[in-house]
Amino acid sequence: MSEQTKETEATSSANSQENKAQAVKSQPKEERELVNASPSREDFDWESFESGLNEEDRKEKAELEEMYENTLDELNENEVFKGKVVRITDKEAIVDIDFKSEGVISLNEFRYNPDLKVGDEVEVMVDQREDKNGQLQLSHRKARTLNAWDHVNKANQSGEIVQGNIKARTKGGMIVDVFGIEAFLPGSQIDVKPIRDYEQFVGKNMEFKVVKINPEFKNVVVSHKALIEADIEEQKKEIIGQLEKGQVLQGVVKNITSYGVFVDLGGIDGLIHITDLSWSRINHPNEVVEVDDEINVVILDFDEDKTRIQLGVKQLEAHPWEALDQNIAVGDKIKGKVVVLADYGAFVEVAPGVEGLIHVSEMSWSTHLRSAQDFVQVGDEVEAVVLSIDREERKMSLGMKQLMPDPWTDITSKYPVDSKHTGTVRNFTNFGIFVELEEGVDGLIYISDLSWTQKIKHPSEFCSVGDKLEVVVLELDVEARRLSLGHKQLEDNPWSIYETKYAIGTEHTGNAYNVFDKGAKVRFEDEEIDAFAPARTLDKEDGGRVEQGEDINFKVIEFNKEFKRVVVSHSATYKDEEMKQVKKALENQTQERATLGDLDGLAALKEKMENNE
């Protein structure tokens, strides 16, 4: 170190000491005296200075802290202790666990045990050593949960019955507190019968059987139904062993479906089919019974294992046919209500459980069968005549049309042969038209009796259903209830006139309105008659051919009145004229003037014309 450096440090030290001396002088006199009287820094008791306790007091405090820590170590948070309930308040239970202070537990943790009282021993765990009030907080739920899985597994393996408290409703079932674990109770496992009000079970203590455990997801499923079924199974065996056909039992309606009613017979179910509920016809079983109704039933049948039991209710009463008035006979008038409709007829209940059928053909004198719905509706009150009655087979047929006069009674006076009438077209067949003259009186017009001149392939070409049509009575068969009608007979047969006008050999001007490969259709003047010209007769004298739409002369070469057939030819109109000329020339030639060559030429011409014809 240089002399200059040493001198500088000495100067700085002197200045520092001088500053400290001045700072001491500036302090109050009392503080300067305390500083001068204080021991040196090495001998100063800083621990006493910071704690405010002397050495003896500090020693006593350390001993107390050691005792406290040792005591807390005994209260392991993962350990279950036994405690005794010493006091119960509105919200908490005070429990003594032999600790320096008593612990508290919320009464919510004892919801499963509403009978908790002072002196009861309970399992607890430390939840919080000291809360903000310095109170020891204990948990009964934690202690129960810690041991719960062992209990649950044992109960599942052994089938032991466990106690549980239903805490709340949840989707599909209930939440149950079992050994402090929240287990799931499916709705289908609450009881053997369907449950409609789940809320009635909330808060109840019930017995359960552990049926399923999933350790991975900490899921437990319990069942109360399993316990009931075990009891029922014993009852079932006893009941099944005593079942007999015809036996009358009392049961409770368990379930109602559209096809029948399930009845609980005391552990075993039976089915009442809808047809066995009442002698009267019903639409749904709930018209007769309701769920939970107590009813008497009779055993109708069961299978060999007696697992399917068929029951009946109506069989407990006498059949209504047995109570039916014995004086009812064929021809009697009877009233009833329409209970069922079908296309073929209506079933009418004439007495409770007694039905008769009105066939649709007996609803009206009309021969046109329609649906029964066109005449009656379900619920209608109707009057009918008894047509037949079979008490042994329990069948009755009724009729409605018999209450109205039969339109065929005086048919000969109303519709004599050759009389003219107006009817309604009802329907078609391939061979004719059915025309209704009045309700119950129909007649048939054959397709050949529709028109004198038109060639009709199907009646729909001539008229439509519902049209009014003028007719004439051609034939009347009273026994067969059959009328034969005609329409064309309202006019004279024009073919009688056509027979003279269009005689074979007569010529007429006609229009070839349709020319085709096989010939042409020809219409004459304003007549409704059509003729046919074969293709070979359409050649013209100039070598041409008759064209479609052309007006030209035709000669009648065939006429058939019965089949309404007229055949004509155009070529015949000029070829016949050539033949006449040849014949005339031959007659005018004299043998004297005739030469051998002339005769040969005429003979050749004649042969040619004959071949063409």
Q: What is the pLDDT of residues 47-100, one digit of tens each?
A: 555 555 566 666 666 665 555 555 544 556 667 788 899 999 988 889 888 776
Residue 12 scores a pLDDT above 70: no
Q: Pull the structure tokens for residue 350.
A: 């004439």
Question: Coil, strand or helix: which one is 535?
Answer: helix
Mean pLDDT of the chain: 79
58 burial (CB, 10 Å; 0-12 / 13-18 / 19+) is middle
pLDDT digits (tens, 9 = 90+) for 328-372: 889 899 999 998 888 889 999 988 888 999 998 888 887 666 788
Helix ranges (H only) for 129-253 are: 140-158, 225-240
Interatomic CA distance for residues 384 and 335, integer angstroms: 6
Is the pTM of the predicted complex or chain greater than 0.75? no
Interatomic CA distance for residues 208 and 98, integer angstroms: 36
Tell the residue number behind the tokens 């393996």, with chain if given. Answer: 157
CATH says 75-144 is which class? mainly beta
pLDDT digits (tens, 9 = 90+) for 161-196: 888 899 999 888 999 988 878 899 998 888 877 787
Q: Are 256 and 286 in contact (CB under 8 A)?
A: yes
Work out the average pLDDT over 121-133: 76
More confident residue, 499 or 288: 288
- Give the long-range contacts of residues 313-319, CB within 8 A, separation 24 or more: 313/272, 313/276, 313/277, 313/278, 313/288, 314/276, 314/277, 314/278, 314/279, 314/353, 315/276, 316/248, 317/279, 319/279, 319/353, 319/394
Name every residue whose Cβ is closer than 8 Å to that of residue 438 and which is 6 or more positions away in sequence. 407
- Give me the pLDDT at residue 565, please: 86
The full DSSP string for 98-119 is SSSS-EEEEGGGGTT-TT--TT
401 burial (CB, 10 Å; 0-12 / 13-18 / 19+) is buried
Name every residue whose Cβ is closer than 8 Å to that of residue 452 and which is 6 or more positions away in sequence. 488, 491, 493, 494, 495, 564
Report residue 525's pLDDT band, with 50, 70 and 90 as the boundaries: confident
- Give me the pLDDT at residue 159, please: 80
Report residue 265's pLDDT band, with 50, 70 and 90 as the boundaries: confident
Work out the average pLDDT over 473-481: 87
Tell the residue number behind the tokens 């035709």, with chain if given. Answer: 554
Tell the residue number behind the tokens 């040493």, with chain if given. Answer: 6
Residue 326 identity (one-letter amino acid): Q
Work out the average pLDDT over 257-263: 92
If one looks up domain 159-228 in CATH, what number appears? Answer: 2.40.50.140
> Regarding the domain delimited by 411-490, which CATH topology (the fold level of the hierarchy) does it fall under?
OB fold (Dihydrolipoamide Acetyltransferase, E2P) (2.40.50)
Interatomic CA distance for residues 571 and 545, integer angstroms: 10
- Give me the pLDDT at residue 311, please: 92
424 burial (CB, 10 Å; 0-12 / 13-18 / 19+) is middle
- Give me the pLDDT at residue 134, please: 64
* Among the ranges given (8-17, 403-412, 514-523), the one the predictor scored with the smallest mean pLDDT: 8-17
* Among the ranges given (108-112, 317-321, 375-379, 592-596), the one the predictor scored with the smallest mean pLDDT: 592-596
Which letter does DSSP use for residue 135 in this model? P
Interatomic CA distance for residues 518 and 554, integer angstroms: 17
Beta pairing partners, 138: 126
- Per-domain residue ranges of the chain: 3-37, 75-144, 159-228, 241-316, 320-403, 411-490
Interatomic CA distance for residues 400 and 387, integer angstroms: 10
pLDDT digits (tens, 9 = 90+) for 216-255: 777 899 998 888 877 777 777 777 777 888 888 899 998 9
Question: Coil, strand or helix: which one is 577?
Answer: helix
Identical fold for domains 320-403 and 411-490, yes or no, is yes
Q: Find, among 211, 206, 207, the residue nearest to 159 by Cα.
A: 211
- Give me the pLDDT at residue 392, please: 85
Q: Pull the structure tokens for residue 493.
A: 């047969």
> Regarding the domain delimited by 320-403, which CATH topology (the fold level of the hierarchy) does it fall under?
OB fold (Dihydrolipoamide Acetyltransferase, E2P) (2.40.50)
Element (H, E) at 302: strand 294-302
- Give me the pLDDT at residue 33, please: 46
Residue 590 scores a pLDDT above 60: no
Residue 291 scores a pLDDT above 70: yes
Q: Does domain 241-316 have CATH number 2.40.30.10?
A: no
Buried b (16+ CB within 10 A) or exposed e, 543-560: eeebeeebebebbbbebe
Give the CA distances from residue 366 to residues 304, 343, 375, 480, 515, in Å, rounded to whole numbers and listed in that order.
Answer: 55, 16, 12, 14, 49
Residue 533 scores a pLDDT above 90: yes
